[in-house]
Amino acid sequence: MEFSSIERAPGAFQEPVSAEQVAAMCERAFGGGAAVVSAVELGGGLYNNTLRVDIAGRDPVILRVAPRPDRQARIERALMRNEHASLPHFAPIAAMMPRTLFADWTHEVLGRDYVVQTMLDGVSASVGLRAYPRPSWAGFYRQLGTIARRVHEVSGERFGPVAGPTFATWGEALVSALEDTEADLVDAGLDASDVREVVAAAAKGSAVLDEIDRPRLLHGDLWVPNVMLDPDAPEPTITGVLDHDRASWGDPAADWVVHIAGLRAERDPFWETYGRRDEADGSAAWRALIYRARHIGAIRLERHRLGEHARIPDTYQEMREVLGLLADH
């Protein structure tokens, strides 16, 4: 087997996967006759280990290996299982998503969850978009708006992560997520007092949160890094959507794609197909601040996990701004 892995510093969050482990996982997935020709770890992912695996007589597959359970934060616990449980709800865009060929939660091979999936054609939009002149990116954002809207049209019965725990109200689900974020930051040795203030504000304003009374499907991480493009198309053309492991039921306005689409005017074409938000609504504006605070807390934790310590102070400044705006409501 030709084997290539990414070199990481000792103690890095993403732990290595060996050639022997790859062979054992593929043997379990495809039987003892599966001959692994090559396995190459792919960059770009920040949570799971992702490898392209070539097996004799088969199309290439993607092997994704989750972190060990004891390295998973509360807000990122069992994400691979959550993705697996949520897949049927993404049926409206299933043609754009990889197929899961095998999943193993037993931990008998290497003490970690893993899945084997089909490999999507195309190139990551993180790279592919750069090949096009910037004015043509408007079409990309319109396509993304259409995809996000289609996902958000799917409704559920309760709020929270698709695999659970779920809650009867949106307020309960959101307060629980914020409390978990606070606890994760404390565990990481970071000051979480500002998140604690957001928890208190959300709990006090639960009636406003509970105006959202119909759970909608949220992708959780839909944006440029998790979208594939046709490398030969004359304009940016989305062909694939990846990594819905943070999928949940909630308010579409709380989804990552809605948050990040609103940060720059360049992305305004997104709203042409997604539909405009009612920013004049006082309740919606207040909820948006709570959602922004939740994203900031999660970003702080991720930067700590990735060792990007120089970028952590920015999250405290952003959170101060949000708390100031919440105080004015």
- pTM here is 0.95
Does one domain contain both 182 and 59? no
* Domains held by the chain: number: 2
pLDDT tens digits, 169-189: 999 999 999 999 999 999 999
* Last-in-domain residue among 90, 118, 146: 118
Query: Is the CA virtual torsion 248, 252, 254, 260 positive or negative?
Result: positive
**278: pLDDT strictly greater than 70:** no
Spatial distance between the Cα atoms of 89 and 19, rounded to a whole number of angstroms: 34
- The pLDDT, as a whole number, for residue 10 is 87
- The pLDDT, as a whole number, for residue 202 is 98
**280: pLDDT strictly greater than 80:** no
**89: pLDDT strictly greater than 80:** yes
pLDDT tens digits, 178-220: 999 999 999 999 999 999 999 999 999 999 999 999 999 999 9
Does one domain contain both 68 and 202? no
Task: Write out the H or E segment, with its range, that includes residue 300.
Answer: helix 282-305
Does one domain contain both 142 and 71? no
Does one domain contain both 133 and 78? no
* Last-in-domain residue among 118, 139, 165: 118
Residue 74: give the domain boundaries: 2-118
- The pLDDT, as a whole number, for residue 328 is 87
Does one domain contain both 159 and 279? yes
Contact criterion met (CB below 8 Å) for 166 and 159:
yes
pLDDT tens digits, 9-18: 888 999 999 9
- Please, what's the b/e burial string for 244-254 (b: 16 or more CB within 10 A of its CB; e: otherwise)? bbbbbbbbbbb
* Last-in-domain residue among 118, 140, 169: 118
- The pLDDT, as a whole number, for residue 212 is 97
Does one domain contain both 315 and 249? yes
Question: Any idea what the CATH number is for the domain that residue 187 is in?
Answer: 3.90.1200.10
Spatial distance between the Cα atoms of 218 and 244, rounded to a whole number of angstroms: 9
- The pLDDT, as a whole number, for residue 122 is 96
Does one domain contain both 148 and 111? no
Question: Any idea what the CATH number is for the domain that residue 49 is in?
Answer: 3.30.200.20
Spatial distance between the Cα atoms of 222 and 243, rounded to a whole number of angstroms: 8
Sheet containing 123-124: which strands, arranged edge to edge? 123-124, 227-229, 238-241
Does one domain contain both 279 and 187? yes
Does one domain contain both 93 and 142? no
Contact criterion met (CB below 8 Å) for 10 and 30:
no
Spatial distance between the Cα atoms of 123 and 129, rounded to a whole number of angstroms: 9
Does one domain contain both 74 and 113? yes
pLDDT tens digits, 116-125: 999 999 999 9
Does one domain contain both 68 and 164? no
Rg (the chain; Cα; Å): 20
Q: What's the mean pLDDT when you consider all of the chain?
A: 96
Does one domain contain both 161 and 278? yes
- The pLDDT, as a whole number, for residue 1 is 92
**Mean pLDDT value of segment 150-169:** 98
Token duo for residue 106? 């037993």
**105: pLDDT strictly greater than 80:** yes
